[in-house]
């Protein structure tokens, strides 16, 4: 099996070709991982149609990437070996593919960000926002109350 340089995790809310984790990526050397997991579908109540639309969008994006020459490892919710969580699916893919490194664009949700920070994933900044998470953290400083209105005014 050819050496895989980067395993690139793409999350369901990152379905764009311009995402930072795909910048400087090479379909000949890198592999994409996308997963549908029960943890994400059930951590809070979601309308069933929302979940269906999300998974449909993910599957269409994965197909588009394949048509562009990417190798995409896609785990569907009903796959027999689906482990049910990002962490378990990432560990499984890492063991199976043995990439030199794992990359992802910083998740928009703190819960997912914390999960990935505890792993070997290199988190790249999400440049789809005006301010980065680090810029927001710097702004927070030692404030006792956080009001987004004041942050927006500073922006």
Q: Residue range 124-128: average pLDDT?
A: 87
Are 11 and 107 in contact, with CB atoms under 8 Å apart? yes
Q: What is the pLDDT of residues 71-103, one digit of tens each?
A: 999 999 898 898 888 888 999 999 999 999 999
Lowest pLDDT segment from 12-16, 30-34, 130-134, 141-145? 130-134
The beta strand positions in 26-127, using DSSP E, are: 31-35, 72-75, 101-105, 121-124
Name the pLDDT band for 18 (thresholds 50, 70, 90). very high
pLDDT at position 1 over 60: no
Rg (CA), the chain: 17
Tell me the sheet residues that pair with 8.
32, 103
Confidence of residue 44 (pLDDT cuts 50, 70, 90): low
Q: Is 141 exposed, middle or buried (0-12, 13-18, 19+ CB in 10 A)?
A: exposed
């Amino acid at each position: 099996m050819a050496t895989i340089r980067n395993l690139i995790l793409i999350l369901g809310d990152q379905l764009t070709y311009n995402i930072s984790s795909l910048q400087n990526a090479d379909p000949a050397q890198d592999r994409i991982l996308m997963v549908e997991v029960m943890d994400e579908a059930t951590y809070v109540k979601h309308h069933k149609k929302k979940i269906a639309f999300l998974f449909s969008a993910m599957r269409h994006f994965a197909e588009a990437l394949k048509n562009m020459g990417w190798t995409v490892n896609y785990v569907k919710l009903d796959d027999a070996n689906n482990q049910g969580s990002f962490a378990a699916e990432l560990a499984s893919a890492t063991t199976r593919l043995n990439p030199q490194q794992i990359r992802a664009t910083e998740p928009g949700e703190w819960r997912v960000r914390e999960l990935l920070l505890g792993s070997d994933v290199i988190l790249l900044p999400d440049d789809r926002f005006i301010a980065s998470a680090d810029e927001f953290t710097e702004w927070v400083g030692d404030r006792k109350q956080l009001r987004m209105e004041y942050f927006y005014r500073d922006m």
